[in-house]
Amino acid sequence: MSAKADIAPHPATLRGRCEVEPTRARYPDEEGFVAGDDGVRVFYEVYGEGPDTICLLPPWALMSSRSWRGQIHYLSRHFRLIAIDPRGNGRSDRPRHPAAYSRAAHVADVLAVLDATDTPSAMLASVSPRAPLALALAVEHPERVRAIAFITPQLWPEESFVREFTAGRRERYEGYSRFNPSHWKRDYEGFVRWFATTVLPHPHSTRQIEEIVAHALETDGETLIPATIGFDMYDREEGLALAAEIRCPVLVTRNGGEAFWPKQCSGPLAEASGGRLHVFDGLGPVVGARWPVAMNLVLREFFESVRAGDAAGAAARVTQ
Amino acid sequence: MTAIEPAYPIIRPEPEPPPLRQPEDRGRVTVDGVEVAYEAHGTGTPTVLLLPTWSLVHSRIWKAQLPYLARHFRVLTFDGRGNGGSDRPAEPEAYRPDRFAADAIAVMDATATDRAVTVALSQGTLWALLLATAAPERVLGSCFVGPFFPVGPPYPGFMTARFDDPDPPAGRWAIYNRRRWQRDWRAFAQFWGELALPERHSSRQVESTVAYALDTEPETIASTIAWSLQNGAGTLAEAIEAGGQEALTALAGQVSCPVEVVCGDRDEITPLAWAQALARASDGELTVFEGYGHAPHARHPVRFNLLLRRFVERCASSNGDAAGSV
């Protein structure tokens, strides 16, 4: 089935900027669209310049690349940086068929953006349920991936999430039972407001809560459902086995405060991939938006160690 | 967009985090038997003196200015008598504006500071004006933020509140009252913080205001009001109208150093009209922070710090000094 028929430019793509963010600390130096074989256009931005590129992978379609805004202006002072809007939100197209949201489609999007921006290889950063995207890129296209920072990774679906998501229609939805397609169809905004306030329970989070709600309302339940169903995560065994094949440097971060999901795969992923595990003591669930300094310092240190390590490796090769 | 009420239990607020920066020097000076605590940060030139404001709060109000300014200048702060690390005299006489000005001179003397650019918030305006006119050789320039310069109506509600009435009339300003403070000091601090910070997402600064107010006692702060209300005045407006307004304007006219006035146009404590009057009277520059309330330095620190730095550098160069880090 062709997904082209049901792609129409979303009003957000025409508007360009979300009103909740009247100005930015830093604007992109370059922006553009790539279009895959299925015709879905994906939006990207490039900040800064230089030989070392960080690619901030698209998050779950509930949010756009603006969810990285706490990181973009700082990291782009020290690296070239690419940010990509996910299919389903931001300025990317919003197809309605689950097939358009497969992991393979996302992998193709990232490669297309790297090609369009003349980026031979990049250091990747992923968030939560889009960790499988980073893993797939590293394993299927290792020559394009210099390093990975897995932020609060979810490689396989949480049991509690699956249970709620497949529970069928309910009388009422509260708490985690809101992770339900019927609820998203009937009361998407209710879901969004619950999610934003639950993922940011700390005081003085009103700005971040407002932004999550505003960005989530740039899409809708009818788009989020296929975007969630269509993205194939790994199962535990497969994911960890593939993680063991990663050869590049890996950082895994975990929040040390309130956990949004009871179990996370951070520890097993760090171990399997030979990566370093960093725990943000007392912080979370969302560290990058609510404690951006803490996140930025950890990411910068990791990416600079990759840059230094690569340089040392290159120098060693020259002297051999 | 409409405000969002959290649906999830809020995690218990943390106490005020520790300062980002330790001072290079700290000490105490005594003026008329009252000990005042000061700190010195940075090693640059010239010196910037961040004055205390109403003793409801203390020198931590400048926490968003300190680390940045200390990279470029030497910065002095001290806790106003009545809060922080300074003594809390009980008698109203101890809270005369000229006492706070004397404390400032004593701190400058103790730190071998010949001259400084002074920065004053709200009530600190009074002691900054006294410094600039009584000791002009010590003041390189004066910056006034949300200045308390009550030269005329319309008055914000606290100016017409009957502070000592045992049974004040019902309404929003009934809380500006000695009895009410004794009954529920935290409620007044919360009210005042919210009044000072009408901007959205100000919860952190409001919480800090409450924390600083809880570092002192309502009886002490009542003494700061009592001094203003002597001679039978029942409200601050009555107190100032007995010839005080002309004197205030004349005082501002005597300021000879460069002046910068900063004020939010949503300031409900010190209205923009007072800032405009101060700028006119002192021949100063006025910068309006549109959409901001009584604490633009706290709520938009980047814009404020950059503005202040430029002002300090102008004061230094117009005086023939080179500004910047040693």
Candidates B153, B125, B78; CA nearest to B282 is B125
Q: Chain B partners of A256 at a C-beta cutoff of 8 Å?
A: none
The winner for highest mean pLDDT among A15-24, A276-285, A307-316 is: A276-285
Distance between CA atoms of residues A291 and A287, nearest Å: 5
Residue B1 clears pLDDT 50, i.e. is over it: no
Residue B16 clears pLDDT 80, i.e. is over it: no
Q: A139 in helix, strand or coil?
A: helix
B99 close to B21: Cβ distance less than 8 angstroms:
no
Which residue numbers of A have CB closer than 8 Å to B's CBs? 20, 193-194, 196-198, 201-204, 206-207, 209-210, 213-214, 257-258
pLDDT at residue A258 in the model: 72
Q: What is the mean pLDDT of residues B218-238?
A: 91
Average the pLDDT over each of A117-131, B101-115, B233-247 and give the range with the smallest value: B233-247
**Residue in B2, B8, B202, B203 to test binding to A, most A beta-carbons within 10 Å:** B8
Whole-model pTM: value is 0.88
B308 close to B283: Cβ distance less than 8 angstroms:
no
- 3-state DSSP: chain A helix, strand, coil percent, rounded to 5? 50, 15, 40
pLDDT at residue B14 in the model: 61
Residue B231 clears pLDDT 90, i.e. is over it: no
Average the pLDDT over each of B31-40, B181-190, B201-210, B227-236 and give the range with the smallest value: B227-236
A57 close to A127: Cβ distance less than 8 angstroms:
yes
Candidates B42, B60, B65, B20; CA nearest to B309 is B65
Residue A1 clears pLDDT 70, i.e. is over it: no
Distance between CA atoms of residues B208 and A3, nearest Å: 54
pLDDT, tens digit, 9 for 90 and up, residues A237-291:
999 999 999 999 999 999 987 778 876 799 999 999 999 999 999 888 899 999 9
In this structure, the number of other CB atoms found within 10 A of the CB of residue A132 comes to 23
| Residue of chain A minimizing CA distance to B10 | A201
**Residue in B2, B5, B11 to test binding to A, most A beta-carbons within 10 Å:** B11
Cα A93 to Cα A110, A115, A185, B14, B257: the distances in Å are: 15, 19, 19, 42, 60
H/E segment holding residue B289 = strand B285-289
Q: What is the mean pLDDT of residues B4-26?
A: 69
- Contact between A196 and B4 using a beta-carbon 8 Å cutoff: yes
The one-character DSSP state at B235 is S
Token pair of B27, please? 């000490």
Distance between CA atoms of residues B229 and B38, nearest Å: 29
Q: What is the mean pLDDT of residues B119-144?
A: 98
Q: What is the SS3 string spanning B182-215?
A: HHCHHHHHHHHHHHHCCCCCCHHHHHHHHHHHCC
Amino acid at A292: P
In this structure, the number of other CB atoms found within 10 A of the CB of residue B137 comes to 7
The one-character DSSP state at B324 is B
Token pair of B98, please? 């000229």
**Residue in A204, A210, A218, A283 to test binding to B, most B beta-carbons within 10 Å:** A204
pLDDT, tens digit, 9 for 90 and up, residues A162-211:
999 999 999 999 999 999 999 999 999 999 999 999 999 888 999 999 99
Q: Chain B partners of A210 at a C-beta cutoff of 8 Å?
A: 1, 4, 201
| Residue of chain A minimizing CA distance to B199 | A207
Cα A230 to Cα A154, A234, A307, B123: the distances in Å are: 16, 13, 35, 61
For residue A74, the distance in angstroms to the closest alpha carbon of chain B comes to 15
- Contact between A204 and B207 using a beta-carbon 8 Å cutoff: yes
Q: What percent of chain B has pLDDT over 70?
A: 93
Q: Chain B partners of A193 at a C-beta cutoff of 8 Å?
A: 4, 7
- Contact between A210 and B4 using a beta-carbon 8 Å cutoff: yes
Residue A16 clears pLDDT 90, i.e. is over it: no
Phi, psi (rounded to 5 degrees) for A188? -60, -45
pLDDT, tens digit, 9 for 90 and up, residues A26-47:
999 999 999 988 999 999 999 9
Q: Give the residue carrying structure tokens 């015709």.
A: A39
User: Confidence band (pLDDT; 50, 70, 90) for B322?
Assistant: low
* Candidates B8, B203, B207; nearest CB to A206: B203
Q: What is the mean pLDDT of residues B149-177?
A: 94
Distance between CA atoms of residues A121 and B186, nearest Å: 57
Candidates A207, A205, A210, A229; CA nearest to A284 is A205
A215 close to A89: Cβ distance less than 8 angstroms:
yes
| Residue of chain B minimizing CA distance to A210 | B4
In this structure, the number of other CB atoms found within 10 A of the CB of residue A23 comes to 6
| Residue of chain B minimizing CA distance to A212 | B4
Distance between CA atoms of residues B207 and A173, nearest Å: 34
- Contact between B7 and A193 using a beta-carbon 8 Å cutoff: yes
* Candidates A201, A207, A258; nearest CB to B201: A207
User: Confidence band (pLDDT; 50, 70, 90) for A5?
Assistant: very low
pLDDT at residue A65 in the model: 97
Q: Is B302 on the interface with A (CB under 8 A)?
A: no
- Contact between B11 and A258 using a beta-carbon 8 Å cutoff: yes
Residue B301 clears pLDDT 80, i.e. is over it: yes
Cis peptide before B147, with omega less than 30 degrees from 0?
A: no
Average the pLDDT over each of A86-100, B112-126, B312-326 and give the range with the smallest value: B312-326
Candidates B66, B72, B86, B54; CA nearest to B18 is B66
- Contact between B10 and A203 using a beta-carbon 8 Å cutoff: yes
A103 close to A227: Cβ distance less than 8 angstroms:
no
Size of interface A-B (CB pairs under 8 A): 46
Nearest 5°: the CA angle B140, B146, B151 is 95
